[in-house]
């Protein structure tokens, strides 16, 4: 999974040692996630560094076993229900076969020290608070005209959203966040269903549409005393697909996109924007790729689809589905903390092109301050990202994508009849064209400039002129190098997460007719009773969990894993997985385009 390793990096203050999570924990889990199933344990001639997940309920039996085998116990990793350890290499078989041990994975932290793109040295002159971000991209000019995203719903396919101030109530008094189905591996947990245990989705939601309760209903300018995202009066439709470590299969993301397309106008919703800060390193043509085709179907259904270019470096090709030219591919700029676009340049981690396909626009993506998710994976693992008690900063094309999604919502609140292509053209034709030091493929039309876009009083009639996709290619190729594995077994081939055969032609036909979901089944796979506990979308699950009074900071992750409540007996609510259960420790944030929290 070398491709995934390029999507993960971190710099700044080392995480504080604690029982919850430590430097060893974060690097160890991430390193385990990027090893291929066939990779050997990293070791010298005598010992091996490993991550040990304990069988629930946890006792000290596994730790005692390590000592008996002549090894040493390292940091406790409560987030995965285990610990780090060093074990004599010839005793590994005895460790893996013990009843107190659920799984043993390599702790190959050295793989994360390879940093060929200089991402850790990306200069930051000033944390970009949303106040400064709003001014930098000119969103407050739209606000002054009375266009704040009201009436526009932005679908966020991500890791869920939690109820923190800034994401509690919409301008009209209803919920700010609407929960769609939870398609993640945490959907079976009463504690974690819909909630953002990873921390990524909450950060994106804040950038797109955050709005403090104390802020004015109709903000007209940016203020340091209240929190506002780019489109503060837009709403978020959260469709959770990723669990606490970012684990998700491409089939889940495709199913989520299909669901959004079919339900975009249910129960008073008006989904006009889809934020997808996700991408794989597939090299399959977008014309054939199922993920690219699913995203394109949303575009053709009138939804502006905004996707991240990726965080592999300027030399790297765009990730999938950003390489589909019928979407908006977003690269990250470094605004170096100033309010002018003139000195911005392409961030060193931002992917640049795929054959003739380049990014469309840039948006700020370095040290963007948004809402903090206390107790989440990111918050616990990267305390250097914390800004006070409420906020958290992140860097990556994820953040840049969220900025552009918010910008699209502003444009649609001003021009409600605009097509996705008209929104894209407006962003590109009004962009600030200077982007220092890089080839044109790295910055596309330039940095979005909403102060210029706001000057238009009408939109030109535009037409999509790219080749439409067919989606009849390979699901396996769509995954690229990113796979779910458990104990050396891998989810691969033309099978979805239920182990059901994936017929691309059959699915593409259903998706094009907006019929991929039917009676709780997606493309023939039985999701009934899985993601929303058998409750009809038109019923209770519309409002999801009650956001008032939900406390996240004190929730323990201990014992919550794919093999726990959600995966009893290798099955999911009675749906056979062909005897295979997936732990999630081998695939993670490499394809979620938020490269670090700093």
Q: How far apart are CA 153 and CA 413, in angstroms?
A: 10
Q: How far apart are CA 288 and CA 470, in angstroms?
A: 5
Q: How far apart are CA 218 and CA 140, in angstroms?
A: 11
220's CB contacts (< 8 A; 6+ apart) are 140, 143, 144
Q: Are 522 and 516 in contact (CB under 8 A)?
A: yes
Strands, E assignment, 44-88: 47-54, 72-77, 82-88
Q: How far apart are CA 102 and CA 154, in angstroms?
A: 39
User: Cα 296 vs. chain centroid, distance in angstroms?
Assistant: 19
3-class DSSP assignment, residue 232: coil
Look at the block and give the residue holding tokens 């519309």: 542
Q: Is 486 designated active site?
A: no
- Of 398, 405, 469, 478, the active-site residue reads 398
- Of 147, 200, 293, 354, the active-site residue reads 200
Q: Is 158 designated active site?
A: yes
Q: How far apart are CA 493 and CA 405, in angstroms?
A: 33
Q: Report residue 98: phi and psi, to 5°.
A: -80, 140
Q: Are 454 and 142 in contact (CB under 8 A)?
A: yes
Q: How far apart are CA 184 and CA 4, in angstroms?
A: 20
**Separate counts of helices (H) and strands (E) for the chain:** 16, 24
| Kind and range of the H or E run holding 181 | strand 177-182
Q: Are 6 and 118 in contact (CB under 8 A)?
A: no
- Of 158, 258, 449, 496, the active-site residue reads 158
Q: Is 398 designated active site?
A: yes
Q: Are 423 and 149 in contact (CB under 8 A)?
A: no
Judged on CB neighbours under 10 Å (0-12, 13-18, 19+), 458 is: exposed
3-class DSSP assignment, residue 203: helix
196's CB contacts (< 8 A; 6+ apart) are 158, 159, 160, 161, 162, 202, 240, 373, 376
3-class DSSP assignment, residue 474: coil
Question: Which residues are annotated as catalytic?
Answer: 158, 200, 398
């Amino acid at each position: 999974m070398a491709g995934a390793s390029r999507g993960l990096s971190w710099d700044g203050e080392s995480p504080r040692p604690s029982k919850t999570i430590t430097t060893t924990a974060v690097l160890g889990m991430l390193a385990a996630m990027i090893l291929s199933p066939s990779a050997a344990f990293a070791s010298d001639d005598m010992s091996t560094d490993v991550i040990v997940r304990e069988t629930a309920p946890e006792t000290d039996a596994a730790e005692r076993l390590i000592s008996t085998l002549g090894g040493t116990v390292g940091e406790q990793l409560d987030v995965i229900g285990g610990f780090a350890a060093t074990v004599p290499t010839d005793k590994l078989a005895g460790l893996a076969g013990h009843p107190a041990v659920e799984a043993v994975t390599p702790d190959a932290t050295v793989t994360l020290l390879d940093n060929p793109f200089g991402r850790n040295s990306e200069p930051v002159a000033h944390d970009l608070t949303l106040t400064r971000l709003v001014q930098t991209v000119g969103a407050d000019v739209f606000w002054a005209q009375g266009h704040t995203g009201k009436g526009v719903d932005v679908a966020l396919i991500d890791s869920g959203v939690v109820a923190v101030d800034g994401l509690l109530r919409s301008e009209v008094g209803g919920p700010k966040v609407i929960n769609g189905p939870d398609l993640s591996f945490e959907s079976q947990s009463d504690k974690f269903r819909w909630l953002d245990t990873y921390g990524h989705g909450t950060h994106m939601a804040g950038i797109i549409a955050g709005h403090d309760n104390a802020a004015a209903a109709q903000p007209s300018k940016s203020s340091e005393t209240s929190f506002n995202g780019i489109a503060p009066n837009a709403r978020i439709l959260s469709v959770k697909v990723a669990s606490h470590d970012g684990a998700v299969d491409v089939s889940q993301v495709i199913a989520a996109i299909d669901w959004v397309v079919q339900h975009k106008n249910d129960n008073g919703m008006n989904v006009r924007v889809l934020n997808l800060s996700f991408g794989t390193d597939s090299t399959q043509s977008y014309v054939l790729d199922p993920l690219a085709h699913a995203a394109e179907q949303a575009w053709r259904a009138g939804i502006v689809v905004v996707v991240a270019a990726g965080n592999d470096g300027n030399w790297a090709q765009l990730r999938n589905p950003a390489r589909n030219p019928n979407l908006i591919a977003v690269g990250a700029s470094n605004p170096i903390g100033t309010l002018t676009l003139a000195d911005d340049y392409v961030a060193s981690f931002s992917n640049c092109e795929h054959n003739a396909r380049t990014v469309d626009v840039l948006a700020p993506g370095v040290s963007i301050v948004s809402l903090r998710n206390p107790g989440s994976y990111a918050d616990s693992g990267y305390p250097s990202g914390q800004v006070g008690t409420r906020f958290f900063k992140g860097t990556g094309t994820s953040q840049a994508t969220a900025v552009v999604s918010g910008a699209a919502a502003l444009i649609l609140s001003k021009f409600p009849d605009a097509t996705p292509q008209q929104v894209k053209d407006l962003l590109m034709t009004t962009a600030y064209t200077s982007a220092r030091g890089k080839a044109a493929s790295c910055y596309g039309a330039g940095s979005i400039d909403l102060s210029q876009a706001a000057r238009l009083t009408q939109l030109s009639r535009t037409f999509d002129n790219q080749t439409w996709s067919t989606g009849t290619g390979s699901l396996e190729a769509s995954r690229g190098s990113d796979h779910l594995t458990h104990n050396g077994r891998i989810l691969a081939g033309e099978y979805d997460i239920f182990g059901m055969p994936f017929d691309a032609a059959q699915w593409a036909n259903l998706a094009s007719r907006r019929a991929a979901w039917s009676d709780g089944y997606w493309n023939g796979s039985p999701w009934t009773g899985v993601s929303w506990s058998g409750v009809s979308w038109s019923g209770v699950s519309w409002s999801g969990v009650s956001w008032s009074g939900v406390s996240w900071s004190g929730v323990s992750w201990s014992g919550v894993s794919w093999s726990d409540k959600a995966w009893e007996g290798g099955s999911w609510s009675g749906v056979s997985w062909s005897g295979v259960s997936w732990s999630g420790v081998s695939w993670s944030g490499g394809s979620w385009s938020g490269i670090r929290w700093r």
